Amino acid sequence: MLLRCFSHPQNYALVRTPFVPNRRYVLDLTAADGLLATRGAMKAITKSGLALLAVTALVAVFVVVRTSTYRPPAAPGAIEVQLADALPVDLDRAAHHLSEAVRFRTVSHQDASQNDVAEWDRFHAWLQETYPAAHAAMTREVVAGHTLVYTWPGDDPTRAPIILMAHQDVVPVTPGTESDWRHGPFDGVIDEGAVWGRGSVDNKSSLIALFEAIEALAVDGFAPAASVIVLSGHDEEAGGSGAAAAAALLRDRGVRAEFALDEGLAIVADFPLLGRPVALIGIAEKGYGTLRVTAAAAGGHSSAPPSETGVATLARAVLAITERPFEMRFQGPAADMVRTLAPEAGFAVKLAVANEWLFEPLLIRQIGATPAGAASLHTTIAPTMLRGSPKENVLPQDAAAWINYRIAPWQTSAEVLERARAATAGLDVTVEWERPPYEPSPVSSITSRSWQILSAVAASGGEWPVAPGLVTATTDSRSLTGVATDIYRFQAIVASLREFEMIHGTNEHLTLDNLARMTSFYTRLIATTAR
């Protein structure tokens, strides 16, 4: 019993004592109050615990309901699509033609004066000779020197045209690596079930498959209701001025295409989220720009350096910029990709995506764990070149660094420049664009008729889901903004993530299966969309 003992008033402490008769006791109200308060607190805690449990239960129910009723944003079936029948593909003929196309050295150097422009002329003549029915069906225009614009006029002038794109040029072969190729990079050898050589994938494969499809359709008597425009740039690998000029021509004519389709994404055989093939169609591409950071200095002899050299100032500036990365966000095309594939990925992924309000940090952490994944969630910053003194014992009069940015669709080049200048405030440097940057492209629809047809044709080639995605590189299609309502980026080829590394690399090659798939894809796309 907790009592205050009045027989010992000097001991004003609480004691635990047995009850003795005839002794005066009084309850220590302070202690009693404390006890009651403790009991009250316990009751309150109990009530709070029950309330928390109730809230947790409600959240759990809410999460489960959202998961069970989740519907992906790019769900098929919004528009009923009746695909046209696929025409048979003469694979031997197509392989032979791609082999011949690879042999034309339409190499785009960064310095255009190094280009062998006669190769483009020879290539154009070969196209006309090789595809007579296609050239009889289409009108042909040459823009900006060697960019080609073909028009297959439709019978219904009220129908919006479609634009199909594939560039002619290829990147150079790195000097000294020629012997590393299994077959000569411009020999166009057909071996081991593939066509080998520079451009066999990027991007003469698309151009040849496209012409094979149009040739077959024309011979078969197909007459499009909607016009089909083929745009083939000559310098995509060196800036895309040809495609920009062609786009300006179409814009001046008031062309407003239903959609444009260019290279960009493909069918990834080992897509990490599912561990099986997924057809990814790019619905946007990141912006592109390179900042030049310059630190001025007095120069002089390295034996008597100032307290801080221009190189040191430049180094601090580069670090200041790179140490302030743009935050990753679960939004835009990359988020739509995950949202679309969530039902295919299992319950855990579906639960996380259906309840982004709760699991968004986890999604960002998981996707951003790889460089490629992180690149899809934010604007990237990549220092690529440095310039200082021409001699080891000479202080440079100025030092410069070039920092390449790939700008996320929700940001602008102005934001990038402002952020870089803020990071270097207080340092004696100038920060300017090396050349005018490209802004991120608009994000195309994943519910339109164009998307439904394109995704249906892409899915018809095999057992794989289709999802939107973000192209982190740049394509000629960026120039088509305002010319086409929607712009998509897709090649109907199947390859593993490792196999895609051959693009711009050594031993570039396209399997014959992929060549057949690409040709059939273009045939069905044209026949379905333009009929």
pLDDT at 490 over 60: yes
Q: Which two tokens stand for residue 296?
A: 């001025």
Q: Is residue 443 part of a domain?
A: no
For strands 228-232 and 162-165, give the pairing: parallel
Angle of helix 204-220 versus helix 91-102 axis, rounded to 10: 140
Q: Confidence class of residue 62 from pLDDT cuts 50, 70 and 90?
A: confident
Q: Which residue range is the domain that position 43 belongs to?
A: 2-68
Q: Which two tokens stand for residue 274?
A: 């599912």
- The pLDDT value recorded for residue 47 is 65
pLDDT at 3 over 70: no
Residue 216, CA distances (Å) to 148, 295, 364 in order: 20, 59, 46
Q: What is the pTM of this model?
A: 0.88
The answer to whether residues 209 and 105 belong to one domain is: yes
The answer to whether residues 235 and 298 belong to one domain is: no
Pick the catalytic residue from 28, 169, 202, 476. 169
pLDDT at 113 over 70: yes
Q: Is residue 510 part of a domain?
A: yes
pLDDT at 6 over 50: no
The answer to whether residues 126 and 164 belong to one domain is: yes
Catalytic, 169? Answer: yes
- The pLDDT value recorded for residue 43 is 61
Rounded Cα distance between 140 and 134, Å, is 10
Instruction: Report helix, strand or coil for 43.
Output: helix
Rounded Cα distance between 69 and 484, Å, is 34
The answer to whether residues 235 and 350 belong to one domain is: no
Half-sphere exposure of 431 (CA within 13 A, CB side): 25
Residue 212, CA distances (Å) to 87, 153, 187, 232, 473 in order: 11, 18, 21, 15, 27
The answer to whether residues 425 and 500 belong to one domain is: no
Rounded Cα distance between 167 and 107, Å, is 11
The answer to whether residues 384 and 503 belong to one domain is: no
- The pLDDT value recorded for residue 446 is 96
Q: Is residue 355 part of a domain?
A: yes
- The pLDDT value recorded for residue 485 is 98
Q: Is residue 406 part of a domain?
A: yes
For strands 394-395 and 300-301, give the pairing: antiparallel
Pick the catalytic residue from 28, 212, 215, 236. 236
The answer to whether residues 253 and 291 belong to one domain is: no
Q: Is residue 446 part of a domain?
A: no
User: Which residue, 433, 452, 481, sits at the end of a domain?
Assistant: 433
pLDDT in tens, 373-392: 999 999 999 999 999 999 99
The answer to whether residues 249 and 109 belong to one domain is: yes
**CA torsion through residues 470, 476, 482, 486, sign:** negative
pLDDT in tens, 160-204: 999 999 999 999 999 999 999 999 999 999 999 999 999 999 999
Q: What is the CATH number of the domain that holds 421?
A: 3.30.70.360
Q: Confidence class of residue 51 from pLDDT cuts 50, 70 and 90?
A: confident
Rounded mean pLDDT, 335-358: 95
Rounded Cα distance between 158 and 450, Å, is 17
Q: Is residue 84 part of a domain?
A: no
Q: Is residue 397 part of a domain?
A: yes
What is the average pLDDT score of the chain? Answer: 91
The answer to whether residues 326 and 427 belong to one domain is: yes
Q: Which two tokens stand for residue 389?
A: 């003194």
Q: What is the CATH number of the domain that holds 242?
A: 3.40.630.10
Rounded mean pLDDT, 429-458: 96
Catalytic, 236? Answer: yes
The answer to whether residues 129 and 200 belong to one domain is: yes
- The pLDDT value recorded for residue 297 is 87
The answer to whether residues 277 and 298 belong to one domain is: no
Segment among 33-47, 216-230, 441-455 with least mean pLDDT: 33-47
Share of the chain above pLDDT 90, in %: 83
The answer to whether residues 12 and 146 belong to one domain is: no
Rounded Cα distance between 165 and 158, Å, is 22
Q: Is residue 77 part of a domain?
A: no
- List 395's β-bridge partners, or say none: 300
Count of the separate structural domains present in the chain: 3
- The pLDDT value recorded for residue 102 is 98
Rounded Cα distance between 52 and 34, Å, is 26
Q: Confidence class of residue 8 from pLDDT cuts 50, 70 and 90?
A: very low
Q: Confidence class of residue 524 from pLDDT cuts 50, 70 and 90?
A: very high
